[in-house]
Chain A
C-alpha cells in the first residue's frame, strides 16, 4: 500500500474543496448520507456526489499529459534549462557552432532517459493502482436487496459495505454492525503503522443495542463529520437519526482503509471517506528528498565551472576581437563576411563569439553528471539492500533505504544521536523484580533464568561470528556454516519447544505477534511472593464465600492482590489467539475454564457463545453478565448467525463436540494450566505492558479477556473476576502514566489503578500525614527504586485510589463534558485525568529489564573508534540511563562523569560555567600527558588524530581528547537549550567523550540534534525506533529507524531503516565509506574529465584566431561524455572499493576519512582542474608539434586528439580505480571499441553529410598511419606521468596494508614531521620535496 506521488490526490482534494467552497454550509464538515436513501441516484440528486470516489490514481501522468508535464517537471532542474538554452542558441545562425539538430542530441538524450525512468515508475504505479482498484468487496445494492460484489473503485461515499474476516478495508468505514456479540471489530493496522497487535473498534453507540442483523434499508441517519485529514488517531463527528437524536462518533468507530479485519466474522459499515480522501492515502507522503553534503559541495564546484566557462569564453571573445582588430581594414580572405555580406566590427564579432564559445565549451558543465550520480546512487542503494550482513533472519527483514539520494552522507557522519530503548536495547522487556508494599522480592530464580538466556545467546553469537569471520570459504563450507547458524537460531528462540519443525512454525507465528518470545513470557515467580498471593486469594475466596467484607483482609495482603490486579488490568493489552485453527480455540477454552456450576455450563454453551467463541478468542473464554441479558444474540434470529453455526458444525467433527461436553479436569493442574495458557496471546502496544501482564500471569493472576467496558481476570481460588471498566486514561508522555477506573467486583468499590514512571507517581502519592505505614512503604519503595535504577532496570510504580460514589460522580460529570467536547477535547481530557490521578496510595513498584541488543557495546566501541561522537537521548530516568550507558560501553568506568542537574536557569548557567572551567583546567594541564597516553591506549591514536592534524576541519576541537562523560537530565536540558546557555552547553558537551540526556521529551531530542547540527556544522545521524524519536529523526541529516517492535512510525520518518542497531556499524563504516568515496571520486573525475576535454578546444583557439573553431568533430564533442567515456566511470563509481569491507570494519579509524571530507575537498577540485589543464596541454601539444607545418587537415588532426584524450581519460580512471573486476575491464574495452566503431562507421557513412566537419574516411586513413599509433602510446604516458608518480610516491612509502591512501599520507607526513627534526640538510630537502608531492597526492 505504500504509494507515493500524492499530487493527484491532493489535486483532487483541492478540487473537492473548491467545489465545496461554493456551498458555505458544507465548509467545515462533511455530511454523509447513505446512498441507499437516494436509490443510487446519479448526478445532482446524490448529496455525496462531491466526494472523491474510491478509485485511486497515484500516477502522475496520463497518456496525453505525460510529455508536457514531465518536461515541465524536468525543467525545474536548472541544469536542464541551461542545456536547452544552449541547444537553442545553436539555432541562431550567427553564433551556431554545430549542426543545430545535433546540438539538441545530448539534452534530448538526458531528458528522455529521465522521462523513460519516470514513465516506468508511473507505469508501475498504474499497475498497482489497477490491482488495488480491482479488488473485490461487498457493497449493498438496493436494487438487488443484498450485498453484491463490486470493485473497490466502484465504492462510493455513503455505500454500505459488508466486511468479512481477513478482508482488507477498501475505504474509511464507519462501523455500524459487527457479528461479534460485544459489537466489536478487531482490526490489524500493520499496513498503516506497522503495529501488529490487534485493535478493537466499536460499533457506533446508536447501533450498539440494535438487536438483530443490521439492515441497510432501515438506516436513516445522516452523518456529520470532519473534513478528510491525515490524522490517523482522530475522528470526530456525530450521526443524526431521523428522530433527531444525535450520537457522537469517535475514532473507535472508524475502520481505516488498508487495515485488515481480524477475529470478526462479519462487519457492516458505511463509507465515510473514499479513495484519496481516506486517512491512509492522505498519510502517504512520497519519498523524502534530501540534498547530501557532498552534493552541496559539488554544487559549489558546478558553480565554479560556470565561472571558469565564462572566463574562458570571455578570454576567447576578447582574443577574437583583438585578432580581428589587428587586421584593421585589410580584411583577410579567411575572415568570412556574415551571410548578408556585411562586415562585422571586431566588437560585434567578439560578442557573437562569446555566445558561440558557450556552446562549444558547454561540455565543461557536466550535463551527464546529474544523471550519472542518480544512476550510481540507485546502484549503491541496490547493493546496500542486497547485503546479507544487513539482513536479519529472525525478523526476515533487511535494511531499507527510504531516501535514495543521501547514501554518501552515511560516510560522513560525525555525531550519532541514539535513542536508548529499542535502539540500544532490544525493547524486549523482561520482568525482573518487584517490590510490593515496601517488601522487595528479588526473584533470584528469574534472574538465573535470564542469565541462562544470556549465556545461550552469547554462545550462539560466538557461533555466528565464527562463521562470519571466515567469509571466504568454498561453497560447501559456507553452506554448512549457514546451516549451523540456522539451527542455532531456531534453538535460541524456541528452546522450550524442542522439535525444530515446531520451532520454525512458532517463529513464523511470532513474527505476527510482538513481544512473545519465551524469554519474556516464562517468568519464574518468586516463591515467597507466590505463597503470599495464594494465601491472599484463598483468604479472599474464603471471605467471599462467607460474604465477609473484603476490608478485613490484612493490608499487606490486600496490597499484594491489588498490585497484581493493577498489573493485570491497568494496560491496554488485548488477548487473542490468531493463527490457530478454530477447533483448537474451542478445545482450549473447554479445558481451561472448568465448569463449576450448571449455570456456567448453560451460559457457556449457549449457541451465542459458540458463534462468538469460534471467531474471537478474546470473547471465547468469558463469562460475562452482559451476554446473558443481551437477548438478541442468544435468540439467534439472524440468518448470519445460523449460517455461522452450520459452518461451525461442518468444521468441527461431531466427535469433537461430544468430547467438548465430556468430562473436564475440574481443578487446577499446575502443569496443564501452564501448557494451556501458553496458547493465550497478549498483544500489547508497548512491550513493558506485556511484560507486566506476563509477570502477573506467573503469579496465577492472568488476564483472560478484555472488552471495551470490561476486563476479566482469573485469580487463583477466586476464579474469573470481571471488572467493569469505567474509564481508561491512556498513557501519554507528559503525564507519564496511565490509569484505569474500574468497579471492583468483590468490594464493589470504584477503584483507580495507576501505573507510571516513578517520578510521576511519587509526586501524586497521598500526603504522608495519612498513615505511618504508607510513609514507610513510600520510603522503602523509593529505596528499592533507586536500587533498581542502579541495576539498569526500568522502573514503574503502581498505585491505586479508591473513590467514593460521590467523588466519582463529581469527576464523571466533568469527564463526560470533556469527552463530548468537540473543541479542545484533548486538553480537557488531559485536565480531567490530572484531576483524577491525585492522592494515590502506593502499592509497589516493578523493575523491568530491557536487555541490550546483540553487539551493541562492540558497535558503539567501533563507531567511536571511527571518530563518531555518540550521544544518547532517552526518556528514561537518569540512573537507568547511566547504567545502560555503562552496560553498552558508552561510558567507561575510568571516565569522569559530569552530571548536570539544575533546578533553575541560574543554577544551570552556573553549573555549565563551572564545568567549562573544569574542563579547560583539566585540558590545559593534561593535554600533553593525554596525548602521550593516548598513543598507548587502544583507540586513542584516532582521538589524537583530529587535534594533531591541522588539515582536519575546524569542527573537531582539541577538547575531544578528554575522557569525560556528560549526563544531563531533561529539566536541566530545557534550561541549557535556552538561547542564552546553548553555546556554553555545547562547549561543555563537545568536549566530553559521550553525552547522555535523560528524561528528555521528543521535542528536546530534536532540539538537541538541531542545536548540534546548526551550531557545530556537523553531520548528524539520529537513530531511534519509536514515535518519540520521529522528530529527532526528521531533524538530523540522516535519520535511521529501527524496524523493531514499536511500530513503524520511526521507520516511516527515517531515511534508512535497520532491523538492528548493530547493523549501523556496517552501514556506516563499510557502505557509508564506500558510497562516499565512490561518489566523491566519481564527481571529481567528472569535473576533471570535462575540464580536460574542453581545455583541448580552448588551447586550439590560440591557433584559429579565437574563432570558436573546434578540431574535434562535433559528433565526438557531443557524444564524448554521453557515450564514449560514460560507462567505465559508472562502473567504477558503483563497484570500486578503496578498502575491503573487512579492513573497514577492523579499522574503524578509516571512517575519519569521510568525516573530514578527505576524498572531496575544495582544493582537490582545483588540483583536479590543474591536472586536467596539464593533461589537456599534453594531449594538445604533442599532436600539435607532431603535425606542425604539415599538410594535415583540421579533422585528420582533431581525430587523433580525441582518441588521445579518450585514452588518457580512461587510463586516468584506471589509476584511480583501486579494485579491478571483470566489469571494469569490460567497460573500458567497451568504451574503446565503441569509440572506434562509431568513428569508423561515422567516417564511412556519408561523404557529403555532416557539414561542416565532413570527416569522410578520416579514421580509416588514420588507422593506416604509424604516426597515429606512436601518438597513442606517448601522449597518455606523458599526460599521466605526474599523477601516476605522485600516487605511487604515496603508496610506495606505505607498503603497509591496503588502507586508505590519505590516511597513509597523513601518517607519513606526521612521520616526516618528526624525522625532519633530525638535522640532515640534504635529507630534509628531499623530505620536503616528498612531503610536497605527498600533499599533492592527497589533494589530487
Chain B
C-alpha cells in the first residue's frame, strides 16, 4: 500500500570516558541509544500518488464484489410481513384494537388471511414486530431485577428498588418485577395453512429455541432450582399488574415455564431501537422434499391482547427465512457497493488530478 523506508539502525556505541590515571569519570553524557536519541527504527509511510492510488483501487475492487455477494444473499431471503394493528377500518383487527385496554378481561380474536406467493424452503422464523415502542427508554431498560430472574429467592421476595414502582403490588412482591416484565407482549399468534380444499391446517409452531442458550440456562432461572412445582416456588408473590396469568402458568411445559419461559426471556432482552421485531416461534423444516411453507393461502389468528394504540404503535407478524448473515437486510450489501464505488471513483479522480497538476507542478518548480 505504501512505500516504506527504514531510516535508522541500531547505534549502540556507548562511549565510556575513563581517565587513564584516575578512575572512571562519571560523565553526564546521555546514552547513545536509539530510543533515547529518538532514532528508533521507524516506518514512515511516504504518501505519493504511486502508493496511495492503489489503495483506493484495491478497496474499491474488494468492496464491490463483497457488496454484491451480500446483496444477493439478502435478496434470497424470503420474508413476509403483515400488520395487524387494526388502525384501518378495513383491518380485521379494527374492532379489537378499538375497545381494548390492559384491563379488559374478555379476549378479542381476529383472523387475518394472507397469501404467500413463494414457497419457504428452509426453517421459517415467525417474528412479532412492534413499532414506536421505546423498549430502549432509559428508565424502562433499568426496570428489572436480574438476580430475581436468575432465581434468587431473596430477590424474589424483596425485588431490587430498580423495579419500582413495579416491585410490589398489594404488599406482595411482584414476580417478575419491573416495567419490562410488566409490559410483556401477550398476543397469541396462530398460523393456519388454507388447503386448496378449504381445510385449515394448523402449522406447528416451535416455542423453544427462540431465546439465547446462555439466557435460558445461565442468566434466567426459576427459584428453587429444578423444583417442578413452580406454584410452590412462586408462593407469596403476585403476578405483574398487566399480566393475566401468573408467571408459573406461562406454559404447560415445565421446561419452558416460569422465568425460563422463552417468550418471556426474549421479551426481557430489550430491543435497541423503537422499531423492532422479536422472535416468536420457529417453524421447523420437516423434510427436504416439502417446503416448510408452501405457496398458498394462510390465516393468522391473533388473540388481541396487547394495546399499542395509546402510543401510536404498530404490531406486525413477520415470517422469514434466514441466511448466514441473519434476516433480510439489503443495506450492508448496498453500503459495501457504495463505499467501494466511491473509493474507486476517488482513485480515478486523484489519478486525473495527479496527472494534470503533477505535470504542471513540475514545470512550475522548474520555472521557480
Which residues of A approach B to under 8 Å, CB–CB?
A: 97, 327, 330-341, 356, 383, 385-388, 391, 393, 396-398, 471-476, 478-479, 482-483, 486, 500-501, 504-505, 508, 935, 1103-1105, 1107-1109, 1111, 1135, 1137, 1140-1141, 1182, 1184-1194, 1196-1198, 1218-1223, 1247-1249, 1251-1252, 1254, 1256-1257, 1261, 1265-1267, 1270-1271, 1274, 1277-1278, 1281, 1285, 1287-1289, 1291-1293, 1295, 1298, 1311, 1314-1315, 1323, 1326-1327, 1330
Q: Which residues of A contact B150 (CB under 8 A)?
A: 1247-1248
Could you say which of A333, A1274, A1287 has the most chain B C-beta atoms within 10 Å of its C-beta? A333
- Quick check: A336 and B361 within 8 Å, CB to CB? no
Partner of A479, one of B13, B28, B143, B360: B13
Given contacts A482-B13, A1185-B335, A1248-B147, contact A1193 B272 (CB under 8 A): yes
Complex A-B: 6 CB contacts under 8 Å: A334-B183, A393-B27, A473-B11, A1187-B329, A1252-B141, A1295-B49
Known: A396-B29, A1254-B146, A1281-B339. A337 touches B165 (CB 8 A): yes
Residue B144 lies at the interface, judged by CB distance under 8 Å to chain A: yes
With most chain B CB atoms within 10 A of its CB, the pick from A1191, A1289, A1291 is: A1191
Residues in B neighbouring A1193, C-beta threshold 8 A:
269-272
Cβ contact of A1104, chosen from B20, B39, B136, B356, cutoff 8 A: B136
Which stretch in B2-10, B188-196, B290-298 binds the other chain?
B2-10
Is B37's CB under 8 angstroms from A486's CB? no
For B12, list chain A residues within 8 Å (CB): 475
A1192 cross-chain contacts in B, Cβ below 8 A? 271-273, 276
CB-defined contacts of B139 to chain A, threshold 8 Å:
335-336, 1107
Neighbouring B residues of A1281 by C-beta, 8 Å: 339, 342-343, 346
Say yes or no: is B88 at the interface (Cβ < 8 Å to chain A): no
Identify which of residues 1-58 in chain B touch chain A, using a CB-to-CB cut-off of 8 Å.
7-13, 15, 17, 19-22, 25, 27-32, 36-49, 52-53
B274 sits at the interface (CB 8 A)? yes
A334 to B368, CA, bound (A): 71
Q: Are B17 and A1295 in contact (CB under 8 A)?
A: no
Assembled-state Cα–Cα distance A1330/B105 (Å): 70
B-side contacts of A1219, CB under 8 Å: 42-44
Residues of the A chain whose Cβ atoms lie less than 8 Å from the Cβ of B48: 1291-1292, 1295
A1220 touches B135 (CB 8 A): no
Q: Roughly how many angstroms separate A843 CA and B231 CA in the complex, as a whole number?
A: 122
Partner of A387, one of B19, B37, B47, B152: B37
Distance A388 CA – B146 CA, assembled complex (angstroms): 62
CA distance A1190 to B326 in the complex (A): 9
The closest CB in chain A to the CB of B28 belongs to A396
Judge if B92 is at the interface, Cβ distance under 8 Å: no
From B28, B182, B212, B342, A333 is in contact (CB under 8 Å) with B182
Residues of B within 8 A of A334 (CB): 133-135, 137, 140, 179, 183, 311
C-alpha gap A935/B47 in the complex (Å): 29
Asked if B364 is at the interface of the complex by the 8 Å CB criterion, the answer is: yes
Q: In the complex the two chains form, is A1270's CB within 8 Å of B70's CB?
A: yes
Q: In angstroms, how far is the closest chain B Cβ from the Cβ of A763?
A: 48
Interface residues of B in 119-142 (CB under 8 A from A): 127, 129, 133-142
Indicate whether A386 sits within 8 Å of B31 (C-beta atoms), given known contacts A486-B15, A1288-B350.
Answer: yes
List of A residues within 8 angstroms of B44 by Cβ: 1218-1220, 1298
A475 touches B11 (CB 8 A): yes
Q: B interface vs A, CB < 8 Å?
A: 7-13, 15, 17, 19-22, 25, 27-32, 36-49, 52-53, 59, 63, 66, 70, 127, 129, 133-147, 149-150, 152, 160-162, 164-166, 179, 182-183, 212, 214-215, 218-219, 242, 266, 269-279, 310-311, 313, 324-327, 329, 331-332, 335-336, 339, 342-343, 346, 350, 353-354, 356-358, 360-361, 364, 368
3 nearest A-B residue pairs (beta carbon):
A339-B164, A332-B311, A1197-B272
Cβ-neighbour of A1191 out of B20, B278, B311 (below 8 A): B278
Chain A residues, CB < 8 A from B41: 1221-1222
Which residues of the other chain, A, contact B28 by a CB distance below 8 angstroms?
A: 391, 396-398
Q: Which residue of A lies closest to B338 (CB)?
A: A1278
Q: How far is the CA of A476 from the CA of B310 in the complex (A)?
A: 85
Given A479-B13, A1298-B46, output 16 extra A-B contacts at Cβ < 8 Å.
A335-B134, A391-B29, A391-B30, A393-B27, A393-B29, A472-B7, A474-B11, A500-B20, A1188-B329, A1191-B327, A1193-B269, A1194-B136, A1221-B42, A1265-B326, A1289-B353, A1295-B48
Whole-angstrom CA separation of A899 from B59 in the bound complex: 66
- Asked whether A388 lies within 8 Å of B30 as measured between CB atoms, the reply is yes
Query: What residues on A are CB-neighbors of B142 within 8 Å?
Result: 1251-1252
Closest residue of chain B to A1291 (Cβ to Cβ) is B47
* Other-chain residue from A1292, A1327, A1330 in contact with B47 (beta carbon distance below 8 A): A1292
CB <8 Å contact, A1135 and B11: no
- Residues of A within 8 Å of B36, CB to CB, are 383, 386
Q: Which B residue sits closest to A1197, measured CB to CB?
A: B272
* Pairwise interchain contact A1222-B138, C-beta atoms closer than 8 A: no
Q: Report the separation of the CA atoms of residues A1185 and B357 in the bound assembly, to the nearest whole angstrom.
A: 39
Cα(A162)–Cα(B17), bound, Å = 38
Contact between A1274 and B346, CB atoms less than 8 A apart = no
The residue on A at minimum CB distance from B182 is A333
Residues of B within 8 Å of A479, CB to CB, are 13, 15
Tell whether, in the assembled complex, residue A1191 and residue B141 are in contact, meaning their CB atoms are under 8 Å apart.
no
* Contact, CB under 8 Å: A1190 / B331: no
Q: How far is the CA of A1197 from the CA of B145 in the complex (A)?
A: 22
CA A504 to CA B17, docked complex, whole Å: 10
CA distance A214 to B142 in the complex (A): 86
Docked CA distance A1196–B326 (Å): 14
A1135 touches B40 (CB 8 A): yes
Among B137, B144, B266, chain A packs the most CB atoms within 10 A around the CB of: B137
Given A336-B140, A1140-B7, A1191-B279, A1196 contacting B25 (CB threshold 8 A): no
Supposing A1108-B138, A1278-B339, A1287-B47 touch, asked if A508 and B40 sit within 8 A by C-beta, the answer is no
Question: Known contacts being A472-B9, A1105-B137, A1298-B44, is A1292 close to B353, with CB within 8 Å?
Answer: yes
In Å, the complex CA distance between A333 and B146 comes to 20
Pairwise interchain contact B218-A1247, C-beta atoms closer than 8 A = yes
Given A388-B29, A1315-B360, are A1196 and B272 neighbors across the interface (CB < 8 Å)? yes
Q: By the criterion CB–CB under 8 Å, are A1291 and B52 in contact? A: yes
Q: CB within 8 A of A1190: which of B7, B327, B356, B358?
A: B327
Q: Which of A1104, A1186, A1252 contacts B332 (CB 8 A)?
A: A1186
Q: Which of A483, A1251, A1288, A1327 contacts B52 (CB 8 A)?
A: A1288
Please determine whether B134 and A332 come into contact, CB atoms closer than 8 angstroms. Answer: yes
Question: Which residue of A336, A386, A1291 contacts B179 across the interface (Cβ within 8 Å)?
Answer: A336
Contact B19 A1274 (CB under 8 A): no
In the bound complex, residues from chain B placing their C-beta under 8 Å from that of A504 are 19-20
CB atoms of A1109 and B136 under 8 A apart: yes
Q: Report how far A521 CA is from B160 CA in the complex, Å.
A: 90
Partner of A1274, one of B39, B53, B336, B350: B336
B contact residues around A1278 at 8 Å (CB): 335, 339
Flag if A1292 contacts B52 (CB, 8 Å). Answer: yes
Measured between beta carbons, the chain A residues less than 8 angstroms from B134 are: 332, 334-335, 1104-1105, 1107
**CB-nearest residue of chain A relative to B27?**
A396
Chain A min CB distance to B325 (Å): 5
Q: Please give the distance in Å from B72's CB to the nearest CB on chain A.
A: 14
Q: Which A residues are CB-close (under 8 A) to B49? A: 1292, 1295
Docked Cα-Cα span, A152 to B135, in Å, equals: 73
Nearest neighbor of A330 in chain B, beta-carbon distance:
B310
Question: Which one, A356, A475, A1249, A1254, contacts B138 given CB within 8 A?
Answer: A356
Smallest Cβ distance from A1239 to chain B, in angstroms?
A: 15
Distance in angstroms from A1101 CB to nearest chain B CB is: 10
Q: Which residues of B contact A1249 (CB under 8 A)?
A: 146
A356–B142 Cα distance when bound, in Å, is: 14
- Chain A residues with CB under 8 Å of B346's CB are 1281, 1285
Closest-CB distance, A1213 to chain B (whole angstroms)? 13
What residues of chain A lie closer than 8 Å to B335, measured between beta carbons?
1182, 1185-1186, 1274, 1278
